[in-house]
Amino acid sequence: MEIRNCTACDQDINRLTFSRYVKISSLVDLLHGKIFIPSFETLRKADPQELDVPAYSFDFLERAFFNNPTFEQEQQWLQQRWEERIGTKFREVEDLKDRVLFMEWIRELAHRRCTWCWFVSLDCTEESIAMWNLYAKDGVLIKTTWEGIQNTLASELGYEAALFKVNYVRVGEHDDKFTSAENLNRPYLFKSKGYKHEQEMRVVFSKQGSWLHPGVTLQADPKNLIKWLTFSPYLSGSEVESLKQILFANDGAERTPRLPGVVIDHSQRALEEGMPESFFAPVNESPVDIPSSIRTL
């Protein structure tokens, strides 16, 4: 499978670092050659705002979305899907008809697209504390390259895939990017500015529009994908040493590294780690001895 690059990124994509903050369980799956790519509907269960930015800006999308040449046929299909799901005849209620059909379209799309999300800093940010806290406080940071992603999925057949850069926009306001020809049918390219810390690029998968929910499990060689592996700064040194055991396979009497040549480290922790508590406690401290810059609020 070849992944199309649809990012329109000003920078050379081959020079960028692609990062994923993941749980240890996801790393274990990858070490055993599997990656799970969730559908957008699966993501919506964890984050209800997923795919909602276009819906919040519906008034600006209505004219562009419902005035395309094929929409009459699409409208009939969406009405039928709505009736099958709700179990009653579709009824037109004034101006709510288009809104209901638009939300039904969002729902159908969410079940028929899967996404592999990556943190890609265009300003060379090394790590994101926000991303550590949200996704991998007790996990790891996997780093790779665009070439690594391509090589990982090269043997997969049957899916279409493309790389997109997420646009962070103000919810409820008009944005010309919504109605551009290449974006109109891709609501998953937009998130509110509250998510800007994610600096996200997405590899989006489709299979001729067929049902993919809750996601797809693909085969992956971790040696193709993982170029750098960093353990969370919230893990202690002893925890990291214990977790490193999963990076080795037992081959008889020998232990074989699963990721030969991969840079493995522990995100920088405070210098205080490992120091005895008595090292920091002041001895015989007197208020008179405390400098005014420390003493005065």
Note the pLDDT tens digit of each residue in 165-200: 999 988 777 777 777 777 878 889 999 999 999 999
Domain borders along the chain are 3-266
pLDDT at 217: 97
Evaluate if residue 208 carries a pLDDT over 90.
yes
* pLDDT tens digits along 212-270: 999 999 999 999 999 999 999 999 999 999 999 999 987 766 789 999 999 999 986 64
CA 9 to chain centre: 18
pLDDT at 272: 47
Strands (E), the chain: 3-5, 18-22, 34-38, 114-119, 140-144, 160-165, 167-169, 190-192, 200-206, 215-219, 228-231, 248-251, 254-257, 263-266
pLDDT at 280: 64
